[in-house]
Structure 1
Amino acid sequence: MDWQTLTTQLFGAGHGITREGDFLHGEVTFDGEPLTVIGTTDHAPIGVQLALRQARAVLDTMTRHPGRAILLLIDTQGQQLRRRDELLGINRAMAHLGMTLDLARRRGHRVLGLVYDQALSGGFITSGLIADACDALPEAEIRVMRLPAMARVTKLPEAMLADLSESNPVFAPGVGNYVAMGGVRQLWQGDLAEALREALASAPTTDCRAQDGAARGGRKLAARVIQQVLDAA
Structure 2
Amino acid sequence: MDWNTLASALFGADHGIVRTGDFLHGDVLFDGAPLTIIGTTHHAPIGVALALAQARLVLDTMARHPARPILLLIDTQGQQLRRRDELVGINRAMAHLGMAIDLARRRGHRVLGLVYDQALSGGFITSGLIADACDALPEAEIRVMRIPAMARVTKLPEAMLTELSQANPVFAPGVENYVAMGGLRRLWQGDLPAALRSALDDSPTDDRRASDGKARGGRRLAADVVQRVLHAD
Per the TM superposition, whether the score is higher than 0.5 is yes
The equivalent of 1:185 in structure 2 is 185
Uncovered stretches (5+) of structure 1, i.e. residues with no partner:
none
Deviation at 1:203, TM superposition (A): 0.7
| Residue identity opposite 1:73 in structure 2 | L
Aligned residues: 233
Deviation at 1:185, TM superposition (A): 0.3
The equivalent of 1:28 in structure 2 is 28
Structure-2 separation of matches of 1:97 and 1:172: 27
Q: Once superposed, what is the RMSD of the aligned Cα atoms? A: 0.8
The equivalent of 1:48 in structure 2 is 48
Structure-2 separation of matches of 1:192 and 1:95: 31
Structure-2 separation of matches of 1:231 and 1:106: 23
SS of the residue 2:213 aligns to: helix
The equivalent of 2:137 in structure 1 is 137
Mapping for residues 37-186 of structure 1, pairs under 5 Å: 37-186=37-186
Per-residue CA deviations over 1:86-119 (Å, capped at 9, x if unaligned) read 1111111101100000000000000000000000
Structure-1 separation of matches of 2:2 and 2:108: 30
Uncovered stretches (5+) of structure 2, i.e. residues with no partner:
none
Deviation at 1:152, TM superposition (A): 2.5
Structure-1 separation of matches of 2:151 and 2:89: 27
Structure-2 separation of matches of 1:92 and 1:146: 26
| Residue identity opposite 1:170 in structure 2 | V
Runs of 4+ in 1 over 4 A off after TM superposition: none
Per-residue CA deviations over 1:160-182 (Å, capped at 9, x if unaligned) read 21111111000100000000000
Identity %: 81
Structure-2 separation of matches of 1:221 and 1:10: 37
SS of the residue 1:189 aligns to: coil
SS of the residue 1:73 aligns to: strand
Deviation at 1:231, TM superposition (A): 2.4
Report the TM-score, using the length of structure 2 for normalisation: 0.98
The equivalent of 2:225 in structure 1 is 225
Structure-1 separation of matches of 2:16 and 2:56: 19
The equivalent of 1:8 in structure 2 is 8
| Residue identity opposite 1:190 in structure 2 | G
